[in-house]
Structure 1
Amino acid sequence: MGAVASLGELRGFLDELLLADRFAGDQNGPFAHYRADAPVARLGVALEPKGELAAWAHRERLDALVLHRPWGFAGDLPVLAYHGAFDERLTTGFNPNLAAALALCEPAVLGYKEGRPLGMIGDVPSVTWEAFRARVAALFGGLEGVYGAPAGDVSRVCVVGAMRPPLVYEAAERGAQVYLTGQYRRGAARAVLETGLAVLELGHARSERWGLGVLAALLREAFPDLSVSLYAAER
């Protein structure tokens, strides 16, 4: 297969998708053997260099890798790495792709970290708590935990990449009934109890795997002739 993209073109697409310019260099590197004009026909995506990643990359005859956590990778392939940017744009931050998957309309920012949105809040089509919980579990392949339950049907939810009392209170004040996050924090338990918010704990690893699958799909859509392989450990 001939080259269908350059590493520079792929980096440009990913930088724009993940708003990478908002992050310090150490959040998005290193770029191993990076050369902008390096041709890429076969691309691999993975969370981190664990297991048989290097052997898998060799078997798949990959030209480059996209990694979430690149540290410790010992291969000789070019690497595009996105750490903080991936977390905030493709897991439980202000994530337009997750908003679409949840049918969350016109997401608004909820909370900030260093000037960047921490999460989003918006309306969803009204549905029973059981149906909404099942939809989220199906989307992510399960849930780490379920805390509380809303008083009625679910019609407004938030997704936040942190769980602190001020964020819980703000979510409740802005009408959220359900708080989706990667990890339930015991320090926010009183705020959850006082506000009556239901919490769905997705699990950090589970939300990362979901984001990686979305990233692979977006790359295939943007570069239809590019072969994009998802590392089996993250499937």
Structure 2
Amino acid sequence: MADLHDMVRFMDDLLDVGSIADYCPIGLQVEGAREVSGVVTGVSACMPLFERAVAERARMVLVHHGMFWDNESRVVRGSLKERLRFLLSNDLSLVAYHLPLDRHPQVGNNARIFQELGLVGWRDFGRYKGQSIACMGELPEALPFDDFLQRVNRVFGGDAFHLPFGPGTVKTVAICSGGAPDLVREAIEKKADVFLTGEAGEYVYHLAREEGIHFIGAGHHRTERLGIQALGERLCRQFDVKCRFVDIPNPI
């Protein structure tokens, strides 16, 4: 057993949550049982994840995408009401880390992608309110783009959407997990051969083609699985509690 608030403080400190502004509550969003014997992690707060947490006898659900966002209504109704009812009736805590998890240099989504793709020479990338939330780097040796794309598909487990408009061989890669197609412009400015994110925007096609950059949209959900797994593993090692990552399918 571990204390809920000790665990949240550990993650708040690890992720340096005060260093960046976010557009959602960071950390504890719903308070459940004070004593935590197990943690279920997942990308996004949703009923199937909460139900799995109860089945696993967990007392904390740890996610990247929580339930509350600054641009959404504060009226508790519909699916939000049902989610809250379920969490409270089962004494489940919901803890969420969004941008602080994207940007962390060890357990963050972008850091884990950087490592899995075998990149070197970390550089800050992806400016948000004066802070970097992403990264870019180099392949140790240039690769044909098709070979690099195969590597991406192995990491994320699927056939990533891609616009093959860059050079035949690639070396410099810019990364921002999730939904960040706008950052293709920064990738162009910083002379990346490839920009990898989760989602595309309609405008990206012509921009990438005319600027000569490869664009890969590997999936919002898929590109944000690695960080929450790494954070959960770090948390549970620290407090000696059980942790299970549950991947609720999401094709977007």
* 2:200 maps to amino acid: Y
Structure 1 contact 120–160 (Cα < 8 Å) conserved: yes
Tell me by how many angstroms 1:94 deviates: 7.7
Q: Which residue is equivalent to 2:26?
A: 28
- Number of residue equivalences: 225
Q: Which residue is equivalent to 1:183?
A: 199
Length-normalised TM-score, structure 1: 0.80
Unaligned runs of 5+ in 1: none
Provide Cα deviations, 1:31-74, integer angstroms capped at 9, x if missing partner.
Answer: 32268xx3322111123343443432222121222133342333
Tell me by how many angstroms 1:198 deviates: 0.7
Tell me by how many angstroms 1:120 deviates: 1.7
Q: Which residue is equivalent to 1:9?
A: 6
Q: Does 1:117 align with 2:132?
A: yes
Q: Please, which of 68, 90, 95 is the counterpart of residue 80 of structure 1?
A: 95
Structure 1 contact 27–84 (Cα < 8 Å) conserved: no
Structure 1 contact 34–78 (Cα < 8 Å) conserved: yes
Q: Which residue is equivalent to 1:103?
A: 118
Distance 1:128 1:222, change over 3 A: farther
Q: How does 1:10-159 map to 2 (within 5 A)?
A: 10-21=7-18, 22-24=20-22, 26-28=24-26, 31-33=29-31, 38-71=34-67, 72=80, 73=83, 74-75=86-87, 76-89=91-104, 95-126=110-141, 127-159=143-175
Structure 1 contact 129–149 (Cα < 8 Å) conserved: no
SS of alignment partner, residue 221 of structure 2: helix
- Most deviating of 203-212 and 80-89: 80-89
The CA distance in 2 between the partners of 1:63 and 1:20, in whole Å, is 23
The CA distance in 2 between the partners of 1:208 and 1:6, in whole Å, is 27
SS of alignment partner, residue 44 of structure 1: strand
The CA distance in 1 between the partners of 2:140 and 2:156, in whole Å, is 19
Tell me by how many angstroms 1:232 deviates: 4.8
Length-normalised TM-score, structure 2: 0.75
* 2:17 maps to amino acid: A
Tell me by how many angstroms 1:12 deviates: 2.7
* 2:12 maps to amino acid: D
Identity of aligned residues (%): 26
SS of alignment partner, residue 233 of structure 1: coil
SS of alignment partner, residue 44 of structure 2: coil
* 2:36 maps to amino acid: V
Tell me by how many angstroms 1:140 deviates: 0.8
SS of alignment partner, residue 65 of structure 2: coil
Structure 1 contact 46–234 (Cα < 8 Å) conserved: no
SS of alignment partner, residue 217 of structure 1: helix
The CA distance in 2 between the partners of 1:26 and 1:54, in whole Å, is 20
Q: Which residue is equivalent to 1:213?
A: 229
